[in-house]
DNA sequence: CGAACGATTAGCT
DNA sequence: GCTAATCGTTCGA
C-alpha cells in the first residue's frame, strides 16, 4: 500500500483505480484542505472526457506527465481540479469532486462566504473556490508547493456509481465516494462496493 | 467569425 | 425540481 506523500509514479495507474485509491487521501493547497471523499475518473478512450478528441490548448496538461494538476474553468464560473494519470501522453485524469474540510476551515469559510462546513467543499466548483484553485495552478506538480497529497493511512469503504453532470458514457461507473460521508456532493446512485 | 455548449452552483418554486 | 448566471473553448462555415 502506498503511504505518505504521493509521487508522480503513484498516478501511473488506470484513472479509475487511482480515483478509487484517492478516496480517504489528504489534499492540501497552501495548507488548506482535508480528506478526499469523492472523485471521478476520465480517460482518453472515454467519450465524456475532455481528452477524448485529442490534445487542445485547454487540455494539454492531461497529455503531460502524471502527478500534475489539470485545472479548467467550468461553465465560465468555476475552477475544477484534476490529477493527471497514466503515462505521459495518454490523456487521463481524476476530478476531485469533494473533500471533508479538516485544515484551514476559517480560510475556506471566508473564500466561500458561508459557515456550513458541509457545504464548503461538497462539489468540484466548491472545492476550487475553498482551496483557491485557479488557472495559475494548471500544470503544476502535485508533490510540490502549494500542493500536498498524502495517501490514506487506513482502509475505508469506497463505493462506486455513475458520474455526474455528463451525458456520455453513463455506463461507466467511475464516480467514487467514501461510504456514508456527509460531505459528498450528492448521494451515489446505485452505489456498489469499489474497494 | 459566429454559435453552441458545458466534468456547476445557488436560489427560487 | 427548474433555471439563470457567465465565459472560455471548440467546431463548423
Question: pLDDT digit string (tens) for A69-104?
Answer: 999 999 999 999 999 999 999 999 999 999 999 999
Q: How far apart are CA A68 and CA A142, in angstroms?
A: 5
Question: How long is the CA A39 to C1' C2 vector, in angstroms?
Answer: 26
**pLDDT score recorded for residue A70:** 98
A85 touches strand B (CB under 7 A): no
CA A180, A74, A43, A167 dihedral sign is positive
Name the residue closest to C11, CA to C1': A53
Check pLDDT > 90 for residue A3: no
The pTM (predicted TM-score) of the whole model is: 0.97
What percent of chain A has a predicted confidence (pLDDT) above 70? 98
A58 touches strand C (CB under 7 A): yes
A66, A8 Cβ separation under 8 angstroms: yes
Mean local confidence (pLDDT), A164-185: 96
Check pLDDT > 90 for residue A194: yes
Question: How long is the CA A1 to C1' C1 vector, in angstroms?
Answer: 43
Check pLDDT > 80 for residue A195: no
Q: How far apart are CA A174 and CA A101, in angstroms?
A: 23
Give A173's contacts (C-beta < 8 A, 6+ positions apart): A160, A161, A162, A163, A190, A192
Nearest to A183 by CA among A120, A106, A112, A115: A120
**pLDDT score recorded for residue A83:** 98
Check pLDDT > 90 for residue A49: yes
Q: HSE of A79 in the Cβ direction (CA atoms, 13 Å)?
A: 16
Q: How far apart are CA A10 and CA A31, in angstroms?
A: 21
**pLDDT score recorded for residue A63:** 98
Q: Which three cell numbers stand for residue A62?
A: 492531461
Q: How far apart are CA A175 and CA A42, in angstroms?
A: 10
**pLDDT band at residue A145, thresholds of 50, 70 and 90?**
very high
Strand C footprint nucleotides (protein C-beta < 7 Å): 5-11
Amino acid at each position: 500500500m502506498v503511504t505518505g506523500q504521493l509521487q508522480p509514479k503513484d498516478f501511473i495507474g488506470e484513472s479509475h483505480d487511482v480515483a478509487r485509491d484517492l478516496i480517504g487521501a489528504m489534499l492540501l493547497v497552501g495548507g488548506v484542505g482535508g480528506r478526499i471523499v469523492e472523485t471521478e475518473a476520465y480517460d482518453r478512450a472515454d467519450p465524456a472526457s475532455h481528452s477524448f478528441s485529442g490534445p487542445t490548448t485547454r487540455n494539454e496538461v492531461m497529455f503531460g506527465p502524471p502527478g500534475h494538476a489539470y485545472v479548467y474553468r467550468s461553465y465560465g464560473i468555476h475552477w475544477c481540479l484534476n490529477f493527471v494519470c497514466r503515462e505521459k501522453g495518454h490523456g487521463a485524469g481524476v476530478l476531485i469532486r469533494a473533500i471533508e474540510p479538516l485544515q484551514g476551515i476559517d480560510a475556506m469559510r471566508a473564500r466561500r462566504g458561508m459557515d456550513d462546513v458541509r457545504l464548503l467543499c461538497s462539489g468540484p466548483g466548491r472545492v476550487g473556490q475553498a482551496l483557491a484553485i485557479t488557472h495559475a495552478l494548471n500544470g503544476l506538480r502535485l508533490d510540490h508547493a502549494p500542493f500536498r497529497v498524502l495517501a490514506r493511512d487506513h482502509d475505508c469503504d469506497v463505493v462506486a456509481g455513475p458520474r455526474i453532470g455528463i451525458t456520455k458514457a453513463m455506463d461507466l461507473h467511475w464516480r467514487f465516494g467514501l461510504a456514508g460521508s456527509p460531505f459528498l456532493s450528492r448521494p451515489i446512485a446505485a452505489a456498489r462496493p469499489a474497494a
